[in-house]
Chain A
Amino acid sequence: MSDLLPLGVGAWTFIALYLLSLLLIGWIARRARQADTLQDFYLAGNGFGFMVLFLTLFATQYSGNTFFAFTGATYRIGYAWILSLHFMTAVVVAYLTFAPRLHRLARERHYLTPADYIADRYGSPLLTLLVTTIMIVVLCNFLLAQLMAMGRAMQGLAHDAGGVAYTGGVVVLALIMVIYGTLGGLRAVAWTDAIQGAILAVGFAVLLVLLIDHFGPLGEATARIMATDLAEGTRKALVPDAARCREWISYILTVGFGICLYPQAIQRIYAARSARALRRSLAVMAFMPLPTMLISLVAGIMALAYLPGLEGASADQIFGRVLREIQSHSTLGYGLVVVTLAAVLAAMMSTADSALLSISSMLTKDVCAGHLMRGASEATLTRLGKIASWTLIGVLIVLAVVLREQTSLVRIMDRKLDLLIQLTPAFILGLRWARLRAGPVALGLVLGVALALLLAFLELPFTAAGKVMGIHPGLIALVPNLTIAVAGSLRAPASRPTVSVASR
């Protein structure tokens, strides 16, 4: 956002008021707590109704990426990024494969973390530990990336080429997040998500109006891009070639099944007050990719047609350029850009706070209560969870500041969906097939993760940009993972699993 014009006092006041309102919500959520238990702190007493559940799902699923990376991707590859519409829809479709059974089990057996289901279903400490470790590693990386994105956003807003605004942004926003998170737990996170989700929705609507008003009809932009395609041999408006089509299928499956297995997503399934509230929320979520993805696509297309010139990684800065164009247009444009900026911050914070709380719950329940502090009271564990949040955010703030210039390092670490999709057999197949056994699932998981990382990081003759012929390494690694889990379970003697899931 370094391309933006300097923000005035009014804009900063608006942003400051928004941030203060988050602290106020945290305090109100603390007063609304019903018990000093892990269930109340991490799952809000399983009391989320339709509207809060929908808004928290929306705010958690759509992060700063939706504005920056997706607009940048459209700028780079053109209309082919319409595939984002498909993969975000695929996330909700993927929920259908396991949410109904998992929600019912969670209600009956009082699950708190994703590992609770694994421990209950398979009765294997090894598999439970593997799943917990993968989820914590993935989420820590995800949270670090969000903190760094927040720092860069504040750096851009403050027009500070040095590191003061970056560091200040990371520290202040992370502290606000951890304060309201530890005050009110998931209740505070979900209520702030509701505010952030509403701002996000307004931000998207405002952005569409600004884009059409400033750049004109979409048809003219399309005609310009198509003319460039014909002149330069690119395919940014023309039909994607076979390689791009393969990439589409890979994205749809990897993102669809990867995102729905985020621990915070699974915990929202647990936190629903009822199956009815959950399925109504998911039904509305099924339509959300249409407005959100189409608007970020339109932003990228307008930029591609009228603001050409950025190449490679710098294309991710195009969203800032678009806002600057609109900002300099009129006073109304300036005001609307401020609302959009608040939506960007909201998108980043709502995604990060959910990840933070989820990691804290896994460290407290799965690691401390499960191994280190057996028999500790609920109040002690809840207090421990808050300490875990503060410690973790402290470590990640230091890492975010130290790694400020190491964006490539963060990108290398960013293979989260390739890892998360390896959990598909343990969660989704495990809920639907009673014969699935812990041993083969654990073996398949280890080999799947190893293969996914090897394919992603080794420069092999058949890999390019961490993919094999455009296919995500995680999707390729899922094949042997799934084969081992199924074949190994078929060879094992038939016996009842710990939880009789297939009959539910």
Chain B
Amino acid sequence: MIARFAPLLYAVLLLLAVPWYWPLESRAVWLGVPAWVCVAVVVSAAASLLTAVLMARPWPGEHDDDE
């Protein structure tokens, strides 16, 4: 299920990763760093998590492999 929507999910994450939607005058600071940086880190962590989830599923023909 998640594999089917993976391209869409990555596209959404790419849109969120780039801070084009933040007001240029924003000076918000979260956890000691600019807020837009915090969001970028969270989005990147989400992309890592999604990738790891996709990697957790066996690939086609994997049962042929000997581990």
Q: Could you tell me which A residues sit within 8 Å of B by CB distance?
A: 49, 79, 82-83, 85-86, 89, 92-93, 96, 100, 103-104, 107, 217-219, 222-223, 226, 237-242, 245, 248-249, 252, 273-277, 279-280, 282-284, 286-287, 289-290, 294, 504
Counting from the closest, the 4 A-B pairs by CB-CB distance are: A219-B32, A283-B55, A274-B65, A286-B51
Q: A86 contacts B56, CB within 8 Å?
A: no
| Chain B residue nearest in CB terms to A274 | B65
Q: Which residues of B contact A294 (CB under 8 A)?
A: 41
**In chain B, what residue has the closest Cβ to A100?**
B59
Query: Main SS of chain A's interface residues?
Result: helix
Give Cα distance in the complex from A107 to B60, angstroms: 13
What is the distance, in angstroms, from B62's C-beta to the closest C-beta of chain A?
A: 4
Question: B54 to chain A: closest CB distance in Å?
Answer: 6
> Measured between C-beta atoms, what is the minimum distance from B15 to chain A in Å?
10
Q: Which A-chain residue is minimally distant from B23 (CB atoms)?
A: A239
> Roughly how many angstroms separate A294 CA and B29 CA in the complex, as a whole number?
17
CB-based contact A238/B27 at 8 Å: yes
A100, A222, A237, A280: the one within 8 Å of B60 (CB): A100
Minimal beta-carbon separation of B38 from chain A (angstroms): 10
Given contacts A89-B47, A248-B18, contact A275 B61 (CB under 8 A): yes
A-B contact pairs, 23 of them (CB 8 A): A79-B34, A82-B37, A83-B40, A89-B47, A100-B60, A104-B59, A104-B60, A219-B33, A222-B29, A238-B25, A239-B24, A240-B19, A242-B20, A245-B20, A249-B18, A252-B14, A275-B59, A275-B61, A277-B67, A279-B59, A286-B49, A286-B51, A287-B52
Is A218 within 8 A of B65, CB to CB?
Answer: no
Complex CA–CA separation, A220 to B65 (angstroms): 53
B12 to chain A, nearest CB (A): 13
> Quick one: given A96-B51, A222-B33, A279-B59, are A85 and B24 in contact (CB under 8 Å)?
no
Among the listed B32, B43, B48, which residue makes an inter-chain contact with A222, where contact means beta carbons less than 8 Å apart? B32
Q: Judge whether B61 and A290 touch: CB under 8 Å.
A: no
Q: What residues of chain B lie closer than 8 Å to A287, measured between beta carbons? A: 48, 52
What is the bound-complex CA distance between A137 and B45, given in angstroms? 35
Minimum CB–CB distance from B46 to chain A (whole Å) comes to 10
* Residue of B47, B51, B55, B58 most packed against chain A (CB within 10 A): B55
In the complex where A89-B48, A226-B27 touch, is A218 in contact with B67 (Cβ < 8 A)? no
A284–B56 Cα distance when bound, in Å, is: 10
B58 to chain A, nearest CB (A): 7
Contacts of B40 in A (CB 8 A): 82-83, 85-86
Q: Are A273's CB and B27's CB within 8 A?
A: no
Q: A266 to chain B: closest CB distance in Å?
A: 17
Give complex CA distance A66, B40 in Å.
Answer: 19
If A93-B51, A222-B34, A283-B52 touch, whether A290 touches B60 (CB-CB below 8 Å) is: no
CB nearest neighbor in B for A226: B27
**Which residue of chain A is the closest to B66 with respect to CB atoms?**
A274
The residue on A at minimum CB distance from B26 is A239
Of residues 6 through 24 on chain B, the ones whose CB sits less than 8 Å from some CB of chain A are 6, 10, 14, 17-20, 22-24
CB contact under 8 A between A252 and B17, given known A274-B66, A283-B52: yes
Known: A222-B32, A241-B24, A274-B65. A290 touches B45 (CB 8 A): yes
Given contacts A273-B67, A275-B61, whether A283 and B56 have CB atoms under 8 Å apart is yes
Which chain A residue lies CB-closest to B46?
A: A89
The interface residues of chain B lying within 8 Å CB-to-CB of A280 are: 55
Besides the contacts A238-B24, A279-B56, A504-B60, what 19 more A-B pairs have beta carbons closer than 8 Å? A49-B67, A92-B51, A219-B33, A238-B26, A239-B23, A239-B34, A248-B17, A252-B18, A274-B62, A274-B67, A275-B61, A276-B58, A280-B55, A282-B51, A283-B56, A286-B47, A286-B55, A294-B41, A504-B61
Q: From B29, which residue of chain A is reached at the shortest CB distance?
A: A222
Kindly provide the distance from the CB of A104 to the nearest chain B CB, expressed in whole angstroms.
5
Contact A85 B41, CB 8 Å, known A226-B27, A275-B62: yes
Q: What A residues does B32 contact at CB under 8 A? A: 217-219, 222
Q: Which residues of A contact B58 (CB under 8 A)?
A: 275-276
Quick check: B18 and A283 within 8 Å, CB to CB? no
Residues of B close to A248: CB separation below 8 A: 17-18
**A461 CB to nearest chain B CB (Å):** 26
Given contacts A238-B34, A283-B52, A504-B60, are A93 and B24 in contact (CB under 8 A)?
Answer: no
B48 cross-chain contacts in A, Cβ below 8 A: 89, 92, 286-287, 289-290
